[in-house]
Amino acid sequence: MSVTAATPEAKARSAGLLHAASDMLDSVVRGTTTLLMSSLVVVVALQVVCRDLLQLAFAGSEELATYIFIWLTFLGASIAFKERSHPVLAVLTDRLPPRAARFVEMFGLTCTVLFVGFLLVRGSSLTLAVATQQSPLLQIPMWGVYAALPIAAAVTLLHLADHIWNEQRAQPQDLLPMAVAIAGVGWLTHVDLVSHVYAIMVVAMVVFMLARIPIAVSLGLTAIIGTAVSSFPDITFLNRMIGGLNNFTLLAVPLFLLTGAIMAAGSLAQRLVDFANSLVGWIRGGLALSNILVSALFADISGSAVADTAAIGSVMMPYMIRRGYGVNFTTALQASAGSLGMQFPPSISMLLYAWVAGVSTAALFSASLVPACLVALSFAAVAYITARRHQYPKEARFRVALIAHSFRRCMFALVTPIIIVGGILGGVFTATEAGVVAVLYSMLVSLGIYRDVPLRRMASILAETASAMGRMMFIIASAVGMSWIIIVNQGPQEFGAALKTFSDDPLIILLLVNLLIIALGVFLDATAILLVVVPVILPVLVGVGVDPVVFGVIFVTSCALGAIHPPVGLSLFIACGISGAKIEEASLAVVPFMIAKIVDIIILSIFPGIALLLPHWLGIY
């Protein structure tokens, strides 16, 4: 009796220790990422100062910065695992009965554990394999760089164990889905069906995503399976993961995320809203038009649809609803306007496309401006027609004094996109250098001029940015491995041959590719589509005469469509979370905005010169 009575107490004690260990390690990792993010800013800033101001070479700065970035990516991903904030596809599990949902949940968790365990074991082997190597310039021991992967994997495994034991409360009946996951993954990594590698990868990825496994893990597991089926060494995938992150251009991503986070933490959103409202608030449905305008302005700072929707939505949506705008219309409008964060420079999606496609960032940024304005105007047309039909109110009458006052309140913030976009288009900075200048300027504005972000808040902003970056870059790292296995198996050639069975006309092929991207946007995050699809389809499009810069603009516009409709629809989900609208009803309300964006995509495909107007005029492209 005494043994039986002690068992629950022992289990509770073990669970408590596991949870405490998970929390303690998470605190250590958050502190470490805060230091790493600060170090990244300092290193890149020193490069800018040495090169542009002192005319000195800061040897090894790019090398050091990329190594810091690799550590930030994997540690940031571990924070996201602790928060359980990695993007997932919940279209199936949310509709299953409890027992079936539990089966799928435990299956997915087991697959995730298998993947992270693979990163730990094989990542440790890879770290040992490079123990004698040193970096080219700074002679940094390479094991110190590669160790980021197994260390972050070990931390993540502890978080997953805590989640399974304490939150999911694993039971004996959960052994069945766990066994199915282990047996299924094990069989797929040993099967000899190289002639069916694409079919196996597609089926595996669909199963993994429907099991609510994080998108990054689904892509990684699929890549490992494809590597095994193709008889490549499994350690090749890890080399591709780390090698894909070893790129100075990618450092612009965390820097732009950090700029947006600093600006959003203070009163910037409200100041921009007041300025936009002073410009267009006097028109029927003025608040709706203000929402679109301020979202476009904030897009030039954040580069992210999620940040745009959250920052502007938290200010605009409650006020719009109080002024009589329908909840569903307000939600759909905010999701659509927030998606402009992907289309105006410095769009993070565009940065990634420029990196993958090997095109000029300046050319792509300048090419995106006119099409992004076209999309914003089409949204404004939908909003205005809806406002006239429902007689939504006008705001304060047009007054020059009000415009001047609101402009003075936000003019320092409006300099930020000029620094970012102007610096890149003018050839003053690279995208990464423009990012660090924007970070320093945003700190000056928020901490020194507006004084609405306390210095003590910076630590949490840095850690939150590391987590957001980890979610995104972990997808990129996994997708790089998956796109590589597709390419070495002649994926682009086979895809091109399949497309040409429909037509040889470049316009028809481009429209078919647009349909594919829009269809994939129903299920996949834009980053995943970019890293997996673009390396495969871009050679085909270039081969039939489609300009890669024009396609970049069209691609990002098509991906932005996925941000405003379920089941992925991150902008729509965030907007629903703010307004309290039901996702089903908001999904119907967003249809007119989706139609407007599809029309814009068709226009850009038929008249590609629209995208090239500004680059040609500026002499950039």
Residue 200 lies in a domain: yes
Residue 270 lies in a domain: no
Looking at the fold, whether 320 and 241 belong to one and the same domain comes out as no
Q: Note the pLDDT of residue 596.
A: 94
Q: Note the pLDDT of residue 9.
A: 63
Alpha-helical (H) ranges within 418-523 are 423-425, 431-443, 458-488, 491-500, 506-520
Q: Note the pLDDT of residue 193.
A: 66
Q: Note the pLDDT of residue 97.
A: 85
Answer for the pair 565, 383: CB distance below 8 angstroms, yes or no: no
Q: Note the pLDDT of residue 445.
A: 87
The conformation of residue 616, written as its DSSP 8-state character, comes to: H
Count of domains for the chain: 2
* Nearest of 255, 364, 256 to residue 302 by alpha carbon: 256
Residue 544 lies in a domain: yes
Residue 31 lies in a domain: yes
Answer for the pair 346, 252: CB distance below 8 angstroms, yes or no: yes
State residue 276 phi and psi, 5-degree precision: -65, -40
Looking at the fold, whether 241 and 283 belong to one and the same domain comes out as no
Domain final residue, candidates 246, 269, 299: 246
Looking at the fold, whether 32 and 128 belong to one and the same domain comes out as yes
State residue 170 phi and psi, 5-degree precision: -50, 135
Looking at the fold, whether 83 and 230 belong to one and the same domain comes out as yes
Domain final residue, candidates 246, 263, 295: 246
Answer for the pair 306, 354: CB distance below 8 angstroms, yes or no: no
Domain final residue, candidates 246, 267, 294: 246
Looking at the fold, whether 324 and 371 belong to one and the same domain comes out as yes
State residue 134 phi and psi, 5-degree precision: -130, 155
**CA–CA separation, 543 and 505 (whole Å):** 11
Q: What are the residue ranges in the chain where pLDDT is below 70?
A: 1-15, 90-94, 170, 192-195, 490-493, 522-523, 566-568
Answer for the pair 227, 237: CB distance below 8 angstroms, yes or no: yes
Q: Note the pLDDT of residue 114.
A: 93
Looking at the fold, whether 197 and 297 belong to one and the same domain comes out as no
Looking at the fold, whether 126 and 185 belong to one and the same domain comes out as yes
Looking at the fold, whether 496 and 597 belong to one and the same domain comes out as yes
Looking at the fold, whether 96 and 219 belong to one and the same domain comes out as yes
Residue 536 lies in a domain: yes
Question: Is residue 231 within a helix (H) or strand (E), and if so which, with residue range?
Answer: none
Residue 332 lies in a domain: yes
Residue partners of 547: CB distance under 8 A and separation at least 6: 608, 612
Answer for the pair 101, 121: CB distance below 8 angstroms, yes or no: no
The conformation of residue 326, written as its DSSP 8-state character, comes to: -
* pTM for this prediction: 0.84
**CA–CA separation, 110 and 207 (whole Å):** 13
Residue 286 lies in a domain: yes
Amino acid at 249: T
Looking at the fold, whether 520 and 575 belong to one and the same domain comes out as yes
Looking at the fold, whether 102 and 161 belong to one and the same domain comes out as yes
Q: Reduce the secondary structure of 413-448 to three states and give it as a string.
A: HHHHHHHHHHHHHCCCCCHHHHHHHHHHHHHHHHHH
**CA–CA separation, 443 and 462 (whole Å):** 12
Residue 7 lies in a domain: no
Looking at the fold, whether 20 and 144 belong to one and the same domain comes out as yes
The token pair that represents 155 in the structure block: 């931390």
Opening angle at CA 529, ends 82 and 40, nearest 5: 50
Could you tell me the residue range of the domain that residue 342 belongs to?
279-396+490-618
Answer for the pair 344, 370: CB distance below 8 angstroms, yes or no: no
Sort 45 into a burial class: Cβ within 10 Å, 0-12 / 13-18 / 19+: middle
